[in-house]
A and B are shown apart, each in its own frame.
Chain A
């Protein structure tokens, strides 16, 4: 977030700037990790309520963005304590996507559903680091700051996550490599 002179003197002004700059990013983060319609709004509210309460602890730009991702990660983690709930959300997310997103030629939506289902089967730490790097577009160093580890550790986790993801897709599709097209059958896990 670009800082302006005197913004630290006016908490609401500072919060407004923070909110305006990062509302879309936090909303996207929430939608990527939960059922979009309702939970995402609650998650965004929780993230920014925390920021408002702890405004004096929010670092200056550009670190404020990573600070918010850290809060977002904890908020989402709090809502994902149950593995059962996670599986349920996955299936619901898939169902909603099937309804909401237009079908594309060549079965791309099925491929995406399969990929997301496989992604959800990754260990949480590997899934999160992959999402931060590919979806949130954070560098390894930035992701390391959010996750509280070294950039080297992020690189290792990303590599492992991709290997595991390929294995999952390959195993379920019965193919030797990640396919260019959609896998034939990838049933979702029952909740």
Chain B
């Protein structure tokens, strides 16, 4: 057999059934491309409407393409609705009455959610192109949705997060999310209160730190103010400053997710969504729920044996959760984890500017 014949027989498309033009999948895709989204079915956010191109702060020009119709084919991703956490949020509002109990309960609930969460998302068939989803988020962000503001003199940026890292490592503490709240002043001083629940050694902490002493996990809240708002320059800055000059899409994806919720201004947040959109391989995961049961838009990126996921509120564009999950081999380096292992995640519960280190947005100091 000659080489040409071998190559033609090796054609991958000949070994698959292709959807014909009139198939349901093809027609759905056609409608997504040609029909603008008339209704705003997810709050006020959807639709990069057709018409002239738009200009965003920072010089970005959004495509003037017709908006795909995202919701005809939207479906909830294949994750069960997280179970117990709506109640946890209500309890959290009265946390100062029973802080220890609430945080422990939240941690247990999150652990249960982690263990129960399926590893893989559903098929992408029928979803809007990811570019349309992220364009829409960029437009909303540029309009000011979800933007934070830096703390003024005597003020603090309040952050309430559930952070779990190192879940896949042998030395790590599987299923041990750190519940933490922090107050960060513009000069880097502040306070953090948190707890590591069982099954790790229980460790509650309440620390204050001086000017410039902001702990490492909060670095994004300090660095965000120094980032450029032009998307190309922003991507370059992230690679240069945080990835040692070697672009790694999964790292860029993670940094962009962090900075989206770091009290960043509208122009920066719009640029961050554009940076994510430009990453090769990023895809639309559809509507998904985070570990607190909040419905959001998921986008993901599979790189080097891990799937990075970002769930954001399409209306406010605020990030609800980001996480990293091992996918099936092949994997890079020492990252040989069973597929579906949650390697790390961060739940963004609440943030806002307050007037003292101990206050929470909308209520008195704790």
User: When the two chains form the complex, which single residue of B4, B15, B65, B132 contacts A101, counting CB atoms closer than 8 Å?
Assistant: B15
User: When the two chains form the complex, which single residue of B12, B34, B63 contacts A12, counting CB atoms closer than 8 Å?
Assistant: B34
Residue numbers in B under 8 Å from A27 (CB-CB): 13, 18-19
Q: Is B280 at the interface (CB under 8 A from chain A)? A: yes
B16 contacts A31, C-beta separation under 8 Å = yes
Q: Is A119 at the interface (CB under 8 A from chain B)? A: yes
Q: Is B107 at the interface (CB under 8 A from chain A)? A: no
CB distance from B230 to the nearest CB of A (A): 20
A191 contacts B10, C-beta separation under 8 Å = no
A residues 81-114 near B (Cβ < 8 Å) are 81-82, 84-85, 88, 91-93, 97, 100-101, 108, 111-112
A116 contacts B3, C-beta separation under 8 Å = no
User: When the two chains form the complex, which single residue of A23, A42, A53, A166 contacts B124, counting CB atoms closer than 8 Å?
Assistant: A42
A45 contacts B32, C-beta separation under 8 Å = yes
Interface code A25-56, partner B: CB below 8 Å = 1, 0 otherwise? 00111011000111101101110110011000
B303 contacts A85, C-beta separation under 8 Å = yes
B330 contacts A92, C-beta separation under 8 Å = yes
B6 contacts A111, C-beta separation under 8 Å = yes
User: When the two chains form the complex, which single residue of A52, A84, A97 contacts B34, counting CB atoms closer than 8 Å?
Assistant: A52
B331 contacts A191, C-beta separation under 8 Å = yes
A191 with B332, Cβ < 8 A, contacts A19-B21, A135-B13 known: yes
User: When the two chains form the complex, which single residue of A15, A80, A190 contacts B280, counting CB atoms closer than 8 Å?
Assistant: A80
User: When the two chains form the complex, which single residue of A38, A42, A93 contacts B12, counting CB atoms closer than 8 Å?
Assistant: A93
CB distance from B326 to the nearest CB of A (A): 14
B283 contacts A82, C-beta separation under 8 Å = no
Give CA–CA (A20, B33) in the complex, Å. 13
A41 contacts B124, C-beta separation under 8 Å = yes
Secondary structure class of chain A's binding surface, majority of residues: helix
Give CA–CA (A160, B132) in the complex, Å. 40
Residue numbers in B under 8 Å from A21 (CB-CB): 21
A53 contacts B16, C-beta separation under 8 Å = no
Give CA–CA (A183, B239) in the complex, Å. 42
Give CA–CA (A191, B65) in the complex, Å. 36
A38 contacts B283, C-beta separation under 8 Å = yes
A23 with B65, Cβ < 8 A, contacts A12-B34, A85-B303, A134-B4 known: no
A115 contacts B10, C-beta separation under 8 Å = yes
A190 with B7, Cβ < 8 A, contacts A19-B30, A49-B33, A84-B304 known: no
Q: Is B8 at the interface (CB under 8 A from chain A)? A: yes
B residues 268-303 near A (Cβ < 8 Å) are 280-281, 283-284, 303
A190 contacts B125, C-beta separation under 8 Å = no
Q: Is B216 at the interface (CB under 8 A from chain A)? A: no
Residue numbers in B under 8 Å from A29 (CB-CB): 13
Give CA–CA (A39, B129) in the complex, Å. 11
A134 contacts B280, C-beta separation under 8 Å = no
Give CA–CA (A15, B66) in the complex, Å. 13
Residue numbers in B under 8 Å from A41 (CB-CB): 25, 29, 124-125
CB distance from B297 to the nearest CB of A (A): 16
Size bracket of the B interface = 35 or more
A24 contacts B21, C-beta separation under 8 Å = yes
Residue numbers in B under 8 Å from A180 (CB-CB): 1
B6 contacts A178, C-beta separation under 8 Å = yes
Residue numbers in A under 8 Å from B125 (CB-CB): 41
Give CA–CA (A88, B4) in the complex, Å. 26
User: When the two chains form the complex, which single residue of B13, B124, B304, B330 contacts A91, counting CB atoms closer than 8 Å?
Assistant: B330
Interface code B183-214, partner A: CB below 8 Å = 1, 0 otherwise? 00000000000000000000000000000000
Residue numbers in A under 8 Å from B331 (CB-CB): 191
User: When the two chains form the complex, which single residue of B3, B9, B19, B330 contacts A178, counting CB atoms closer than 8 Å?
Assistant: B3
Residue numbers in A under 8 Å from B12 (CB-CB): 31-32, 36, 93, 97, 116
B30 contacts A38, C-beta separation under 8 Å = no
A52 contacts B280, C-beta separation under 8 Å = no
Q: Is B172 at the interface (CB under 8 A from chain A)? A: no
Q: Chain B interface (Cβ within 8 Å of chain A)?
A: 1-4, 6-13, 15-16, 18-22, 25-26, 29-30, 32-34, 63-66, 68, 123-125, 129-132, 249, 280-281, 283-284, 303-305, 330-332
- 4 A-B pairs with the lowest CB-CB distances in the bound complex, closest first: A28-B13, A53-B65, A38-B124, A112-B10
The 29 listed contacts between A and B (C-beta, < 8 Å) are A12-B34, A19-B26, A20-B21, A23-B20, A28-B13, A31-B12, A31-B13, A31-B16, A32-B13, A36-B12, A41-B124, A42-B129, A42-B130, A45-B68, A48-B29, A48-B33, A49-B65, A49-B131, A52-B65, A53-B65, A78-B280, A82-B249, A82-B280, A85-B281, A100-B16, A111-B6, A134-B7, A135-B13, A191-B304
Contacts A48-B33, A49-B33, A111-B10 supplied; 12 other A-B pairs, CB < 8 Å: A12-B34, A16-B30, A23-B21, A41-B125, A45-B33, A49-B131, A53-B66, A81-B280, A112-B10, A130-B7, A135-B8, A191-B330
